[in-house]
């Protein structure tokens, strides 16, 4: 399967702990996006990369959140000092070309902060 993959699929953590999620995009896609989605709502944009460059960050992305894509392939999203309000589905998507293009989503990582 050559779709977008995410790991882990589920993460349960205690408040105050740090967590890191990984996303592997479709191999030839140079754009990678992170979204957060709460139950029954549409995804909310967090940040995106073109190759290894992080080009835009939403104001939803507080200082506790950091994302990297060091080699322009996989990406990681880290949340430090997690809070209960961070509980959500974290989705990764990738797209092929510059300009507006269709994004293909991974299965998501469900984070629960106790």
Query: Which spans of this chain sit near other proteins (rule: CB under 8 A)?
Result: 4, 6, 31, 33, 35, 40-45, 48, 50, 55-56, 89, 91, 93, 98-108, 110
Tell me the closest approach of the beta carbon of residue 81 to other proteins, in angstroms: 26
d(CA 38, CA 65): 17
Question: What is the per-residue burial (b if ≥16 Cβ within 10 Å, else e) of 89-101?
Answer: bbbbbbbeeeeee
Strand 19-24 vs strand 31-37: parallel, antiparallel, or unpaired?
Answer: unpaired
Query: Residue 4 or 79: which CB sits closer to other proteins?
Result: 4
Tell me the closest approach of the beta carbon of residue 42 to other proteins, in angstroms: 4
Query: Residue 13 or 30: which CB sits closer to other proteins?
Result: 30
Tell me the closest approach of the beta carbon of residue 107 to other proteins, in angstroms: 5
Radius of gyration of the chain from its Cα atoms, rounded to whole angstroms: 13
Query: Residue 76 or 80: which CB sits closer to other proteins?
Result: 76
Structure tokens at 17: 């702990």
Number of H helices, E strands in the chain: 0, 11
Query: Residue 50 or 80: which CB sits closer to other proteins?
Result: 50
């Amino acid at each position: 399967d050559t779709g977008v993959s995410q790991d882990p699929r589920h993460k349960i953590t205690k408040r105050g702990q740090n967590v890191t999620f990984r996303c592997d995009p479709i191999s030839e896609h140079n754009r990678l996006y992170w979204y957060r989605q709460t139950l029954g709502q549409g995804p909310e944009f967090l940040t995106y990369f073109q190759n290894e460059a992080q080009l835009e960050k939403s104001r939803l992305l507080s200082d506790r959140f950091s994302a990297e894509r060091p080699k322009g392939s996989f990406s990681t999203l880290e949340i430090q000092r997690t809070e209960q309000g961070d509980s959500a589905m974290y989705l990764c998507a990738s797209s092929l070309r510059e300009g507006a293009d269709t994004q293909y989503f991974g299965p998501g990582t469900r984070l629960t902060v106790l």
